[in-house]
């Protein structure tokens, strides 16, 4: 149970929480800057944000490398898993910041509080991935989400942005209710919200009288997480929100938010699913199939690359869910496969969205796939990078996307869910259509003169060094871990 | 001098350099070809020529250095392997290294390939000088040289196969070099497809080799296809030797244009003439012979397979020689002549005279390359004219080309002391000596025909009256120096190349035979009978007289009495037409194989099976179904928040409902 105040080792908690404090301090500075400083066009806040992220990253990395065992404070768990995932989150937050600088500048809407919100959301994710208790999960999710709701509507002069924020917020509130109700039911049936305690006692609970309450509670939790990871049928918000939100925020939602939610879900699953596994296996596999099918099918007909990537993101959530039924029999393998996939997914999705950011650096945001026509001639390097990311998302070797899918499906096959993998592979084949289409358009379609004019606007913008950095890092990552997957596998194995 | 060289590079590195130089040339020239527009080509011509010619020359120098080093070994086996540069395939059941093997056979081949290759590269500088695809040409030619060297230097059968396929690719690219011309592109395709048939057999042979080595429990780690290993596990090949030999020989039939797969070679003359000289006379087409000799330890296990090799070779030698009699295109004459000469080599290999086969391979490379280059020189001067009936008397205008061609013709006709005399005599005598009188007779007749058709060409092109219109005659000129130099060098080689195998009976020492003897154990096992000496002289003299007689006959008839053959042709018009139409073999293949296949492909496989079923129902049907579903699914995305919440709720209800049940 919860340790007493006096029993807590405050110094080691401070030690562990130092990166969080750095992030929090940076967020506070950002908000103070917003309130006190008039001049809005400076690079001070984003650079300060990046520095804070870098410091937090360095501290956490040191922690990950240190051979010390993980620490549990009941509510918070600092193990290799949480540190590793937080590193991934910091990485994608840094990428969002890098993309935001030119994006906001192009719109003349540079506000320091933007970065403050981003940092606060990152802090929420820290709680979420380190949560050892359902209440902490809830706290993390809410801290993370509240900031992201605001960020999604940050371009307040744009109707689409406002719509995105409102939809996200309303459905998010709805989902939070489910989550909270689930926590209540679990507490009612198990007498605790601590994940470690639940893991110990779930077999006992499942055999006892509280079984149905407990099941109901976990189902509610499942629904709450289903919303966060955009699993069908709790996904409907995702395309609208991803499309309407500012693109760097979309990147943040698609990578960091998703990774945090998935890892928390994974933690919950490892503690809870082992008892009464069969029930969850059915729910999870049906969810995986529905999510993959819907994401891939709907992505086919999208004309807007942002929406297409939104559906692709749903489809990828489906692929990750394919590994979840394996938690019951092989929690370690499933966890590693999921972590590997999340890492790969962050790299390739962030890269692909970065190209969308480049497209949107003009006055309007031309994100139609047809606007890509002729990109292969006009900007060969950019087109080649996007091709790399799309091929990786599709899962073509030697990109990291291939091995990510491979380990995921391998885990499922090892646990005997061959039919699930067959469906997943068929879905991968369907996804080839919409991932290859932008490539075809870029290299083989001649831009129509009308489109060409609008394009001219974006063309005048030279590539910002920040975006070049993002593209270079993600492309190198996709290629490097595609050729040497064993390095990433070693990191992942060390984390779970 | 060599000592100081070996202080800089080890001999193994030198061996790698042999293959690396042409590859570097190919890379540089390919970059130039890709990176420059056709208009800017002029500026790079010098660079292309330099790399294109100089790197093969360096490869030749490296081969020569190694060769000289090897000759200095006395009494010790000088062959060595480079060891593996890298392991190409590593699986529990198969290991393939990339490594080279330099031994007496491969170094001779490498010398010939780089030497003749360098000369032909030099010749190309003049011949292709005005072509727009100059850099592409040199890139492909250098690449060919690289693959050919991989083929001959490989230390295992798989790497050899890589070279084998690589030269096939380059042959395809270069035959169709002027691909804007449909007919030429088609000739390239024909060569490629016909070669594929042979390669199918070759591959099947490789699989069998694998099966044999696996069943022999050979150590996987050192490579099942390593020549060293294969010869060590020689005994295990006995049960499968016939089948393996025949399958591998099937590959050789395709690559070396033997009956029945020779049909691609005459069409391959569509490529630039230096290409015909290098690939379709001197080097690539001899790969089949090289392979048979390289694997002589397997072929020798199966007398039946060897007799098939010999019979096919002899039949091809005769058959192609008769077709050479009636051709009027100067390059086609040489093409059929090449097929016929390759037949000789296989006949030699088939009777077990492996070193005689290699000897003829080398001298043939000299004189046939020379014949082609002279033909190219003539074609160049005549602005593309190839029909010998429209030529004549060209010796007055092109003396160097004329006399070098005559030297080469004497060599191929087997007139002493030109190189061809020794190499052909070695084949015929060894066939006779082994009691294969039938094969010998065929070879003997073919030798006469060879002398006749080649001097027919000499008479028609360089002597007699000129059939060239006067205004064209004025423009005919001798070729530029870069083309003349290779002609002269090759003429010397054709004339004197025979020194490598002057038989003992003529006071020589058959150096080639001695040099290769270590590799060809089965040949030396056959002890020559001393009483044969007299017969050897007799056979030699008869063959020589027979050839000279036809040389004179061909030259006299076609230089002075051109009306005679027409009269003869009229008298035996049926036979003449049969031969002139190349025995209708192309037509027979067309009727029997190409058209039925085409029909089945078009009507059954394509229009019925593929269009209707696979494409129509399976592929497009699936795609359409997916498309329909995609539209249905995306219709659910209405943008209306209330509906989204409804989905949410339905999901929740379904899950809870499922759990409640």
- Residue B593 belongs to some domain of the structure: yes
> Looking at the structure, do residues B518 and B653 belong to the same domain, yes or no?
no
- Residues A373-397: what's their mean pLDDT? 89
Average pLDDT in chain A: 88
A101 has pLDDT over 80:
yes
Could you tell me the residue range of the domain that residue B518 belongs to?
Answer: 303-524+532-580
Most confident range (mean pLDDT) of A316-330, B257-271, B576-590 is A316-330
- Residue B555 belongs to some domain of the structure: yes
- Residue B178 belongs to some domain of the structure: no
- Residues B376-405: what's their mean pLDDT? 88
Mean pLDDT check: name the lowest of A162-171, B114-123, B125-134, B519-528. B519-528
> Looking at the structure, do residues B417 and B450 belong to the same domain, yes or no?
yes
* CA–CA distance, A481 with A351 (Å, rounded to integer): 14
- Residues A257-267: what's their mean pLDDT? 93
- Residue B213 belongs to some domain of the structure: no
- Residues A275-283: what's their mean pLDDT? 82
pLDDT score recorded for residue A453: 45
> Looking at the structure, do residues B481 and B571 belong to the same domain, yes or no?
yes
The residues, ordered by sequence, that sit 6+ positions from B542 with a Cβ below 8 Å of its Cβ are: none
> Looking at the structure, do residues B599 and B493 belong to the same domain, yes or no?
no
The pTM (predicted TM-score) of the whole model is 0.66
* CA–CA distance, A48 with A27 (Å, rounded to integer): 10
Mean pLDDT check: name the lowest of A105-109, A321-325, B429-433, B585-589. B585-589
Are B320 and B333 within 8 A, CB to CB? no
Which of B580, B596, B618 is the endpoint of a domain? B580
- Residue B648 belongs to some domain of the structure: yes
Q: What percent of chain B has pLDDT over 70?
A: 97
> Looking at the structure, do residues B489 and B501 belong to the same domain, yes or no?
yes
* CA–CA distance, A115 with A102 (Å, rounded to integer): 13
B479 has pLDDT over 80:
yes
Report pLDDT digits (tens) over B65-80: 999 988 888 777 888 8
Cβ neighbours of B655 in A, within 8 Å: 219, 222-223, 283
3-state secondary structure B141-191: HHHHHHHHHHHHHECEHHHHHHHHHHHHHHHHHHHCCCCCCHHHHHHHHHH
Helix A80-106 vs helix A112-130: angle between axes, to the nearest 10 degrees?
A: 160
The CA R_g of chain A, rounded to the nearest whole Å, is 22
A364 has pLDDT over 80:
no
pLDDT score recorded for residue B468: 83
Q: How many distinct structural domains can be found in chain B?
A: 2
Question: What residues are paired with A304 via a beta bridge?
Answer: A368
Q: For B630, which residue in chain A has the nearest alpha carbon?
A: A297
Mean pLDDT check: name the lowest of A212-221, A269-278, B348-357. A269-278
pLDDT score recorded for residue B524: 46
Cβ neighbours of B643 in A, within 8 Å: 236
- Residue B509 belongs to some domain of the structure: yes
Cβ neighbours of B657 in A, within 8 Å: none
B527 has pLDDT over 60:
no
Selected residue with higher pLDDT from B591 and A297: A297
Q: Which B residues 55-74 touch A at CB under 8 Å? A: none
pLDDT score recorded for residue A39: 67
The residues, ordered by sequence, that sit 6+ positions from A486 with a Cβ below 8 Å of its Cβ are: none
Question: What residues are paired with B95 via a beta bridge?
Answer: B90
Suggest the residue from B626, B648, B661 to mutate for an interface test with chain A (most A CBs closer than 10 A): B648
pLDDT score recorded for residue A311: 93
A21 has pLDDT over 90:
yes
* CA–CA distance, B446 with A223 (Å, rounded to integer): 89
Other residues' Cβ atoms within 10 Å of the Cβ of residue B109 = 25
> Looking at the structure, do residues B399 and B432 belong to the same domain, yes or no?
yes
pLDDT score recorded for residue B584: 78
pLDDT score recorded for residue B624: 85
Local confidence band at A452 (pLDDT 50, 70, 90 cut-offs)? very low
> Looking at the structure, do residues B537 and B621 belong to the same domain, yes or no?
no
- Residues B442-453: what's their mean pLDDT? 92
- Residue B638 belongs to some domain of the structure: yes
Local confidence band at A454 (pLDDT 50, 70, 90 cut-offs)? very low
Selected residue with higher pLDDT from B90 and B539: B539
Mean pLDDT check: name the lowest of A341-345, B381-385, B484-488. B381-385
> Looking at the structure, do residues B391 and B438 belong to the same domain, yes or no?
yes
- A·B CB contacts under 8 A: 75
> Looking at the structure, do residues B512 and B634 belong to the same domain, yes or no?
no
- Residues A433-457: what's their mean pLDDT? 73
A354 interfacial to chain B (CB closer than 8 Å): no
pLDDT score recorded for residue A456: 46
Mean pLDDT check: name the lowest of A179-183, B8-12, B309-313, B399-403. B8-12
A302 interfacial to chain B (CB closer than 8 Å): yes
Among partner residues A174, A215, A293, which is closest to B645 by beta-carbon distance? A174
> Looking at the structure, do residues B410 and B544 belong to the same domain, yes or no?
yes
A352 has pLDDT over 90:
yes
Among partner residues A219, A233, A282, which is closest to B648 by beta-carbon distance? A233
* CA dihedral of B428, B429, B431, B437, whole degrees rounded to 10: 90
Given an 8 Å threshold on Cβ–Cβ distance, is B626 in contact with A174? Answer: no
- Residues B351-380: what's their mean pLDDT? 91
> Looking at the structure, do residues B493 and B557 belong to the same domain, yes or no?
yes
Q: What percent of chain A has pLDDT over 90?
A: 56
Cβ neighbours of B647 in A, within 8 Å: 233-234, 236
A461 has pLDDT over 70:
no
- Residue B442 belongs to some domain of the structure: yes
* CA–CA distance, A267 with A288 (Å, rounded to integer): 18
Are B201 and B250 within 8 A, CB to CB? yes
B618 interfacial to chain A (CB closer than 8 Å): no
> Looking at the structure, do residues B356 and B328 belong to the same domain, yes or no?
yes
Local confidence band at A449 (pLDDT 50, 70, 90 cut-offs)? low
Which is nearest to B23 in space by CA: B141, B185, B161?
A: B141
């Amino acid at each position: 149970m919860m340790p007493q105040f006096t029993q807590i080792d405050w110094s080691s908690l401070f030690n562990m929480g130092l990166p969080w404090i750095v992030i929090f301090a940076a967020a506070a500075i950002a908000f103070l800057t917003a309130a006190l400083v008039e001049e809005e066009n400076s690079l001070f806040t984003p650079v300060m944000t990046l520095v804070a992220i870098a410091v937090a990253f360095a501290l956490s990395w040191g922690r990950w490398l240190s051979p010390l065992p993980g620490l549990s404070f009941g509510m918070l768990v600092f193990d290799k898993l949480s540190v590793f995932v937080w590193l991934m989150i910091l990485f994608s937050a840094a990428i969002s910041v890098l993309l935001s600088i030119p994006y906001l500048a192009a719109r003349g809407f540079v506000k320091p509080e933007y970065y403050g919100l981003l940092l606060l959301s990152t802090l929420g994710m820290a709680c979420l991935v380190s949560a050892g208790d359902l209440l902490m999960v809830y706290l993390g999710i809410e801290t993370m989400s509240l900031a992201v709701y605001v960020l999604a509507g940050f371009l307040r002069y744009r109707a689409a942005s406002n719509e995105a924020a409102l939809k996200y917020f309303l459905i998010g509130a709805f989902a939070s209710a489910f989550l909270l109700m689930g926590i209540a039911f679990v507490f009612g049936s198990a007498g605790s919200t601590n994940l470690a305690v639940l893991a110990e006692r779930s077999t006992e609970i499942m055999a006892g009288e509280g079984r149905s309450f407990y099941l109901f509670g976990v189902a509610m939790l499942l629904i709450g997480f289903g919303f966060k990871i955009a699993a069908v049928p709790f996904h409907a918000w995702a395309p609208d929100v991803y499309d309407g939100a500012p693109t760097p925020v979309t990147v943040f939602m698609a990578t960091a938010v998703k990774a945090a939610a998935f890892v928390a879900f994974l933690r919950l699953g490892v503690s809870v699913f082992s008892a009464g596994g069969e029930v969850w296996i059915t729910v999870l596999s049906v969810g995986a199939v529905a999510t993959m099918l819907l994401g891939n099918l709907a992505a086919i007909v999208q004309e807007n690359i942002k929406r297409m990537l939104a559906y692709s993101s749903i489809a990828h959530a489906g692929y990750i869910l394919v590994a979840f039924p394996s938690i019951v029999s092989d929690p370690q393998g499933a966890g590693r496969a999921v972590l590997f996939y999340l890492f790969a997914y962050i790299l390739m999705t962030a890269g692909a969205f970065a190209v969308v950011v480049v497209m949107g650096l003009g006055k309007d945001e031309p994100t139609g796939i047809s606007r890509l026509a002729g990109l292969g001639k006009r900007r060969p390097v950019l087109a080649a990078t996007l091709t790399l990311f799309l091929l990786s998302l599709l899962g073509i070797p030697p990109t990291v996307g291939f091995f990510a899918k491979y380990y995921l499906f391998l885990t499922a096959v090892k646990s005997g869910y061959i039919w699930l993998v067959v469906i997943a592979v068929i879905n991968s084949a369907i996804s080839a259509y919409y991932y290859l289409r932008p490539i075809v358009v870029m290299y083989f379609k001649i831009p129509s003169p009308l489109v060409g004019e609008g394009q001219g606007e974006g063309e005048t913008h030279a590539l910002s060094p920040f975006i070049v950095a993002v593209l270079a890092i993600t492309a190198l990552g996709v290629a490097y871990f595609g050729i040497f997957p064993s390095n990433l596998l070693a990191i992942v194995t060390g984390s779970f | 001098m060599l000592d100081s060289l070996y202080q800089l590079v080890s001999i193994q590195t030198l061996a790698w350099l042999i293959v690396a130089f042409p590859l570097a040339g190919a890379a540089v020239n390919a970059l130039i070809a890709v990176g420059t527009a056709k208009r800017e080509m002029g500026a790079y011509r010098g660079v292309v020529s330099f790399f294109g010619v100089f790197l093969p020359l360096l490869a030749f120098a490296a081969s020569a250095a190694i060769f000289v080093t090897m000759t200095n070994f006395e009494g010790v086996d000088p062959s060595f392997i480079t060891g593996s540069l890298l392991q190409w395939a590593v699986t529990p059941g198969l290991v393939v290294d990339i490594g080279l093997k330099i031994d007496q056979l491969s170094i001779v081949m490498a010398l010939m390939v780089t030497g003749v290759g360098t000369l032909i590269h030099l010749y190309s500088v003049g011949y292709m000088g005005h072509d727009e695809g100059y850099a592409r040409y040199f890139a492909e030619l250098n690449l060919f040289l690289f693959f050919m060297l991989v083929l001959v230097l490989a230390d295992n059968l798989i790497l050899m196969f890589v070279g084998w396929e690589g030269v096939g690719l380059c042959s395809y690219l270069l035959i169709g070099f002027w691909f804007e011309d449909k007919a030429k592109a088609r000739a390239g395709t024909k060569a490629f497809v016909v070669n594929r048939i042979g390669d199918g057999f070759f591959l099947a042979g490789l699989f069998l080799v694998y099966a044999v080595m696996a069943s022999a429990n050979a150590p996987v780690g050192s490579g099942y296809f390593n020549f060293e290993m294969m010869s060590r596990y020689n005994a295990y090949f006995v049960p499968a030797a016939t089948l393996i030999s025949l399958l591998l020989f099937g590959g050789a039939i395709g690559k070396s244009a033997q009956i029945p797969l020779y049909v691609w070679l005459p069409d391959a003359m569509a490529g630039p003439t230096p290409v015909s000289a290098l690939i379709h006379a001197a080097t690539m087409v001899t790969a089949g012979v090289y392979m048979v000799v390289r694997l002589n330890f397997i072929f020798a296990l199966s007398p039946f397979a060897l007799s098939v090799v010999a019979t096919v070779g002899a039949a091809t030698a005769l058959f192609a020689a008769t077709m050479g009699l009636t051709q009027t295109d100067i390059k086609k004459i040489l093409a059929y002549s090449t097929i016929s000469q390759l037949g000789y080599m296989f006949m030699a290999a088939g009777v077990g005279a492996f070193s005689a086969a290699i000897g003829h391979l080398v001298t043939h490379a000299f004189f046939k390359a020379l014949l082609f280059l002279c033909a190219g020189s003539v074609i160049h001067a005549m602005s593309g004219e190839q029909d010998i009936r429209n030529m004549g008397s060209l010796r007055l205008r092109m003396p160097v080309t004329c006399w070098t061609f005559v030297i080469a013709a004497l060599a191929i006709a087997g007139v002493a002391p030109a190189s061809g005399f020794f190499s052909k005599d070695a084949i015929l005598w060894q066939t006779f000596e082994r009691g294969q009188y039938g094969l010998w007779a065929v070879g003997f007749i073919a030798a006469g025909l060879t002398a006749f058709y080649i001097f027919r060409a000499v008479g028609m092109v360089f002597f007699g009256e000129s059939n060239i219109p006067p205004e064209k005659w004025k423009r005919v000129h001798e070729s530029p120096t870069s083309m003349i130099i290779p002609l002269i060098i090759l003429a010397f080689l054709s004339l004197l190349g025979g020194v490598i195998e002057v038989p003992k009976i003529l006071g020589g020492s058959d150096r080639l035979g001695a040099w290769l003897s270590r590799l060809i154990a089965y040949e030396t096992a056959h002890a020559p009978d001393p009483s044969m000496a007299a017969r050897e002289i007799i056979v030699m003299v008869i063959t020589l007289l027979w050839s000279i007689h036809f040389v004179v006959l061909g030259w006299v008839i076609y230089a002075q009495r051109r009306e005679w053959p027409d009269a003869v042709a009229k008298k035996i018009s049926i036979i003449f037409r049969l031969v002139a139409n190349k025995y209708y073999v192309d037509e027979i293949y067309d009727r029997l194989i190409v058209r039925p296949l085409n029909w089945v492909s078009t009507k059954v496989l394509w229009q019925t099976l593929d269009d209707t079923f696979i494409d129509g129902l399976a592929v497009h049907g699936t795609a359409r179904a997916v498309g329909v579903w995609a539209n249905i699914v995306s219709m659910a995305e209405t943008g209306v928040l209330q509906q989204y919440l409804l989905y949410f709720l339905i999901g929740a209800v379904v899950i809870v409902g499922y759990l409640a049940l």
